Amino acid sequence: MRPGTVYLVGAGPGDPELLTLRAAKLLAEAEVIVYDHLVSAPILELGASGAERIYAGKERGNHTLSQSELNQLLVRLARAGKRVLRLKGGDPFVFGRGGEEVEALAAAGIAFEVVPGVTAACGVAAYAGIPLTHRDYANSCLFVAGHLKDGSVDLDWDSLARPGRTLVVYMGLLGLPTLCRELVIHGLSAATPAAIVQHGTTASQRTVVGTLATLPQLAQAARLGPPTLIIIGEVVRLQAKLAWYEKGAVEAGAEIGLERAQALAR
C-alpha cells in the first residue's frame, strides 16, 4: 500500500470467504481501518493487529459522523501519510456512498483506489437460494434503496411495479408495509412471491418467505431487525427448492472460512 492513499474496499455481505484477494491483502497492510457497521467482526479480525480502527457506522437515524465529517477524516488521514483502508459492507459503489467519498478525495487531490466487493443483492440472494434471474421467471433485475435521501419511501412506483422482473430492495425493513402496499396499488399481484433475509451470508442468517400481501406481517412476527434485504418476484418461488445454506453448514464452515481468509491475507 502506498502512504497517503485511501483504499475504498468492499467487504462483501458478511462471510469473510466472500472477500476478494485484493481486499484481504489490503486489510493486512492498512495502518488505519475506517469501517461501517455492516462490516462483520470476522472480517475486521483480518486487519493488521497494529492498525488503528475507526468506527464510522451509519444506521438510520444514528450516524457516528456526518458524511461531510467522514470525508474530511479520510482526507486528513491521507494527508498525514497514512495507508487508509475505507472498509464498506457489500460493494462501495452500490448504495454505499462510495461515489461521494471518492469525489471528496479527488477534489482534495488524494490518491485513491476502489476495490469492488460482492454486493448484498448477489451474495445474500445466493445464500438464500434465490437466483436473481432465471429464464422461466425473470429476465431482468433491479436494485433499489428502500428510502430516498430525505428518508421518505416515496419511490417511483410505476417503474418498480413491473412483472417479469426481480426487485431487490436494500434498507427496506422499516418501509416494508408501504413498499408492498404501493407495489400492489401500482399493478403487481398481491400474490407476488416476496422474501426478506436478515444477516445474509452469516451464521445468523434468517429467511422469511411470503407474498406482497403477507410479508410485512410475517417479518413483524419473526421480529426481524436490520440489516435485511428484500427480494420480490417469481424467482422467490425457487427458494424452498434451492436453499442450501443451512445453519449446520454455517457453523461447521465459519471457522474454516476465517482460517482461509487469514491465509489469503498473509
200 in helix, strand or coil? coil
Hey, how many other C-beta atoms are within 10 angstroms of the C-beta on 92?
25
58 catalytically annotated: yes
Q: What are the distances in angstroms from CA 193 to CA 60, 174, 175, 214? A: 27, 19, 18, 9
Residue with cell 469501517: 35
Residue with cell 493487529: 49
Question: Quick one: three-class SS letters along 148-166?
Answer: CCCCCCCCCHHHHCCCCEE
What is the DSSP code (8-state) at residue 87? E
Beta strands, E only, the chain:
5-10, 32-35, 52-55, 58-59, 62-63, 83-88, 111-115, 140-145, 165-170, 193-198, 206-211, 228-232
Q: 15, 36, 82, 91: which one is catalytic?
A: 36
Cβ–Cβ < 8 Å for 2, 83: yes
What is the DSSP code (8-state) at residue 57? -
207 in helix, strand or coil? strand
247 catalytically annotated: no
Q: Is the dihedral of CA 247, 248, 251, 252 positive or negative?
A: negative
Give the residue numbers annotated as catalytic, written as ranges: 36, 58
